[in-house]
Structure 1
Amino acid sequence: MAPTADGAQRRPAPEAPDASDASDAPDAPEAPDDAALTTGAVARRLGVSPPTLRSWDRRYGIGPQVRGTGRHRRWSPADVAVLETMCRLTSQGVPPAEAARAARGKAPVPEPERAAAAGSRAAGALPLGDVRQECRGLARAAVRLDAPAVEDLLSAAVEEHGLVVAWQEVMVPTLHAVGRKWASSGDRYVEVEHLLSWHVSTALRRCTRPAAPYGGLAPGPVLLACVPGEQHTLPLEALHAGLCQLGVPTRMFGAAVPAEALTAAVRRLGPSAVVLWAQARSSASLALARYIADTEWGMKGARRHPQVVLGGPGWAGRSAAGMLRPPSLPEALRLLAGAAVSPGPGRV
């Protein structure tokens, strides 16, 4: 599975007319449809919740200059540019009223040093590179510690792209960017990393279903566990959510599972596969992996043992015969779904 850094309530509903969307100037010209965005589209692009956009419009005049058909808000490229400035300044710690004046050209743009002195511990943009637009909106919302917007954007990404794409192309790049910024800025971004990780975990858990039953001659469940001392669980949570969506029986044990407890669970459940996640090389124990692979259950003459799957960057260059190390989430889902429909390895 791809290495990752560790670190909703609802998707924005389609825009409906309300009192705050009505224009005070009914004769204002309408923006061309191909040059204007709805409030929901702007919110997803910039990582600002729709209620925040409406509040900025009412309080500071940071709103669309024209209204579209049906008198709904329609944001032109110029309107979005003003919003981008507003978002950048508020993420640097500039008070909203002052940021609005600067964004509208009514006051000088504050210097970065002044923005930092205004109280921001996490000023500046995240180093995202060439990523989906949703990543940029999510990063902006996380830097502002705008939890409602983070939840909305994560929910929208999963709904629009599906779990696997949302994880690989939206969540992971943003988590990586936060991790890099934190590493290069001391502890200034730790609160951003914690907030984003929490909401990513929440979004992943909302993709899960109740544990699928198993029994009889069917293969046992897939066990998911971090090795002892390993606290990074988000990649394992993404795998768990994906397996749940496929209807594969799973048992999720989470962070830092003691070796004795993991071995006991293997003997009790007779799993078809055991996924061992290690983020750090120091925690990736091949001795433990071999011990789990050799753990047996069943009647004499029909002993079985689990397929061991190694996940995480900690296992890089450290594999063992008979163990699998899928390079991505889709490949891990394919392998584990196959293991769940065929009996585990047997020994005589």
Structure 2
Amino acid sequence: MDASEAAGTTAPGTAAAGLTTGALARRLGVSPTTLRSWDRRYGIGPAVRTGGRHRRWTPEDVTVLETMCRLTASGVPPAEAARAARRKAHPAAARRPADTAPAPAPAPAAQAAAGTVPALGTPEPGVARQDGRGLARAAVRLDAAAVDERLEAAVARYGVVTAWQEVMVPTLHAVGRRWASAGDPYVAVEHLLSWHVSTTLRRHTRPSAAPAETTGPGPVLLACVPGEQHTLPLEALNAALTHLGIPVRMFGGAVPAEALLTAVRRLGPAAVVLWAQARSTASPPLAARVAAQEWGVRGARTQALVMLGGPGWAGRPTRGMLRPTALSDALDTLAARYRTALPGPLSRGSGPA
């Protein structure tokens, strides 16, 4: 490998030949050694070679390798992934003897569509960690299709709550740590991953139900405190609540204080969840004002249950307010409140189909 290949540049006169191994490795988020190993072992190599052994990867080569990366990230063995990648790139080509092995196992998303994904619930030890690693590798490659597929597979396999707690949150934290240590190269990775997590959560949010009776409890109001833009935890809670058939009003990031208080007075919510990621945005006086809001006829005034979420509230005075430790904790508390207030049982499996 010459200096130009190591630097990811193309030597003069070869610009039309495609990417160098170094440039392609950075694009896919793998090492140049891995690309050379795949070429040697599985025949997933470049169509063009210059100066003897110097590799130049064409757009067609890149497509094959992107498929290879996506399949291996889904747990398909490299040899099977290579055969599948070649077949996808050249579907009309005759299959070679080496391609007579069984086809790769379907990706998790395909299993979900076929109804063969294991039952929802707590993952086996190490399984969710492996799912998270596959998700992180796809994000590092900036492979949007693979990120979306891995997230969908996690929700299909575990449900929204467990997928959030066991796969999405650990992966977001891992990428955030890499950002802190590696700097700018991981900014785009975290933004891409966050966007697709948000898209997946919203995709699995059902239309918000209306209160069963006009005299029943109001909705759960979800809002980030002023100055706070981290909405993903509230988006996860929003999706989970709608699957229970609990009415929700999601206000998102950085809700101004007066707008929040006005919404509480107008909606008469059964509960208000305030999210603060940073200590600098957590405002106990604002939380106290929300908790003090009253509505209803004189003599039967009602106040909302106030729940404080996020690390920003740690160590702050929160007398009389709840501090859930996880999404499942918040969900159990809110569901119990509606079981008590609504006629008939409310189970985790209820709600709109």
TM range (shorter): 0.5 to 0.7
The equivalent residue for 2:12 is none
User: Partner letter of residue 141 of structure 1?
Assistant: A
User: What is the CA–CA distance in structure 1 between the aligned matches of 2:314 and 2:288, rounded to whole Å?
Assistant: 16
The equivalent residue for 1:279 is 277
User: Partner letter of residue 147 of structure 1?
Assistant: A
Q: Give 1:184 shift.
A: 1.3
TM-score, with length taken from structure 2: 0.64
Measured against aligned partners, the alpha-carbon deviations of 1:275-312 in whole angstroms (never above 9, x if no partner) come to 00000000000000000000111111111110100000
The equivalent residue for 1:324 is 322
Q: Give 1:185 shift.
A: 1.6
Is 1:219–2:217 an aligned residue pair?
yes
User: What is the CA–CA distance in structure 2 between the aligned matches of 1:174 and 1:167, rounded to whole Å?
Assistant: 10
Is 1:133–2:135 an aligned residue pair?
no
User: What is the CA–CA distance in structure 1 between the aligned matches of 2:104 and 2:97, rounded to whole Å?
Assistant: 7
% identity of equivalent residues: 60
Q: Give 1:229 shift.
A: 0.1
Q: 1:230 aligns with which of 222, 228, 231?
A: 228
Conserved 8 A contact 1:66-1:73: no
Q: Secondary structure at the match of 1:318?
A: coil
Is 1:44–2:74 an aligned residue pair?
yes
User: What is the CA–CA distance in structure 1 between the aligned matches of 2:257 and 2:340, rounded to whole Å?
Assistant: 26
Q: Give 1:320 shift.
A: 2.1
Conserved 8 A contact 2:73-2:135: no
User: What is the CA–CA distance in structure 2 between the aligned matches of 1:179 and 1:237, rounded to whole Å?
Assistant: 19
Q: Give 1:52 shift.
A: 9.3
User: What is the CA–CA distance in structure 2 between the aligned matches of 1:251 and 1:209, rounded to whole Å?
Assistant: 12
Q: Give 1:334 shift.
A: 0.6
Q: Give 1:147 shift.
A: 0.5
User: What is the CA–CA distance in structure 1 between the aligned matches of 2:305 and 2:236, rounded to whole Å?
Assistant: 20
User: What is the CA–CA distance in structure 2 between the aligned matches of 1:307 and 1:223, rounded to whole Å?
Assistant: 10
Q: Give 1:54 shift.
A: 3.8
Conserved 8 A contact 1:131-1:173: no
Q: Give 1:207 shift.
A: 1.2
User: What is the CA–CA distance in structure 1 between the aligned matches of 2:200 and 2:209, rounded to whole Å?
Assistant: 20
Q: 2:162 aligns with which of 156, 159, 165?
A: 165
Change beyond 3 A, Cα 1:52–1:197: farther
Q: Give 1:53 shift.
A: 7.5
User: What is the CA–CA distance in structure 1 between the aligned matches of 2:295 and 2:77, rounded to whole Å?
Assistant: 51
Q: 2:141 aligns with which of 140, 144, 148?
A: 144
| RMSD (Å), alpha carbons | 3.2
User: Partner letter of residue 142 of structure 1?
Assistant: A
User: Partner letter of residue 100 of structure 2?
Assistant: R
User: What is the CA–CA distance in structure 2 between the aligned matches of 1:257 and 1:228, rounded to whole Å?
Assistant: 5
User: Partner letter of residue 296 of structure 2?
Assistant: G
Q: Give 1:161 shift.
A: 1.2
The equivalent residue for 1:67 is 100
Please list, as runs of the form range in 1=range in 2, the aligned pairs for 1:85-96 lying within 5 A after superposition. Answer: none
The equivalent residue for 1:32 is none
User: What is the CA–CA distance in structure 2 between the aligned matches of 1:270 and 1:53, rounded to whole Å?
Assistant: 59
Q: Give the paired residue count.
A: 249
Q: Give 1:210 shift.
A: 0.6
Change beyond 3 A, Cα 1:183–1:47: farther
Q: 1:189 aligns with which of 174, 186, 191?
A: 186
User: What is the CA–CA distance in structure 1 between the aligned matches of 2:77 and 2:307, rounded to whole Å?
Assistant: 36
Q: Give 1:46 shift.
A: 7.0
User: What is the CA–CA distance in structure 2 between the aligned matches of 1:64 and 1:189, rounded to whole Å?
Assistant: 42
User: Partner letter of residue 191 of structure 2?
Assistant: H
The equivalent residue for 1:9 is none
Please list, as runs of the form range in 1=range in 2, the aligned pairs for 1:241-252 lying within 5 A after superposition. Answer: 241-252=239-250
Q: Give 1:230 shift.
A: 0.1
Please list, as runs of the form range in 1=range in 2, the aligned pairs for 1:97-136 lying within 5 A after superposition. Answer: 132-136=129-133
Q: Secondary structure at the match of 1:276?
A: strand
Change beyond 3 A, Cα 1:47–1:220: farther
Task: Flag the structure with more relative contact order, 1 or 2, with Cα contacts below 8 A and sequence separation at least 6.
Answer: 1
Please list, as runs of the form range in 1=range in 2, the aligned pairs for 1:12-51 lying within 5 A after superposition. Answer: 42-45=72-75
Conserved 8 A contact 2:139-2:189: yes
TM-score, with length taken from structure 1: 0.65
User: Partner letter of residue 232 of structure 1?
Assistant: H
